[in-house]
């Protein structure tokens, strides 16, 4: 059962990472920096910018710091996976989204020294697929950590999953749940 959760995590992470990198490559190839294409006038545009800072352009020029933060996030996801052995679909996919978001922007920072952003919802800073995945994944994880019974039973779940003797509770990945 845990293997299916690992496959779901990997699939989510790889699909989102591929969408992120492909969309950024397309924007870099087809749009000059600063160009904006209105999709819904005064609501949503595709606007190419290079972000040398964090979310919302905060702390520009600290590439090394942001690389370290992304690596810490990825190590943290590995720890959560080891410690809690998540199997519920929303938790598994939330970790995959968070990992994809961290990796997507990490790749940009390591390769180019900045992150390519292009989604512009007017009145909101420009962002990309990785940013959206990271935000959604973290929001789901916060809800999970605050309200899940899984967290309270983590040590027992981890030992049971390692021994592969754990029962299949309703809602696990691969058990026909959404």
- Tell me whether residue 150 is one of the annotated catalytic residues: no
- Tell me whether residue 131 is one of the annotated catalytic residues: yes
Euclidean distance between CA atoms 34 and 37, whole angstroms: 10
Q: Which of 20, 42, 108, 131 is catalytic?
A: 131
Euclidean distance between CA atoms 144 and 46, whole angstroms: 33
Q: Are 58 and 94 in contact (CB under 8 A)?
A: no
Whole-number CA gyration radius for the chain: 18
Contacts of 119 (CB under 8 A, 6+ apart): 44, 46, 126, 127, 128, 129, 132
Q: Which of 117, 135, 150, 164 is catalytic?
A: 117
- Provide the annotated active-site residues: 117, 131
């Amino acid at each position: 059962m845990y293997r299916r959760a690992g496959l779901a995590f990997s699939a989510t992470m790889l699909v989102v990472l591929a969408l992120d990198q492909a969309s950024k490559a397309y924007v870099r190839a087809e749009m000059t920096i600063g160009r904006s294409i209105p999709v819904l006038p005064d609501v949503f545009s595709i606007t190419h910018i290079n972000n040398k800072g964090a979310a919302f352009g905060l702390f520009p020029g600290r590439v090394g710091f942001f690389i370290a933060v992304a690596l810490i996030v990825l190590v943290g996801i590995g720890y959560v996976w080891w410690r809690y052995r998540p199997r519920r679909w929303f938790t598994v996919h939330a970790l995959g989204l968070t990992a994809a978001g961290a990796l997507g922007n990490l790749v940009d920072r390591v390769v180019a020294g900045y992150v390519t952003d292009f989604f512009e919802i007017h009145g909101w800073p420009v962002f990309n697929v990785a940013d959206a995945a990271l935000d959604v994944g973290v929001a789901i994880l916060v809800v999970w950590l605050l309200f899940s019974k899984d967290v309270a039973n983590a040590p027992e779940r981890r030992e049971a999953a390692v021994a592969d003797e754990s029962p299949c509770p309703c809602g696990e990945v691969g058990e026909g749940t959404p």
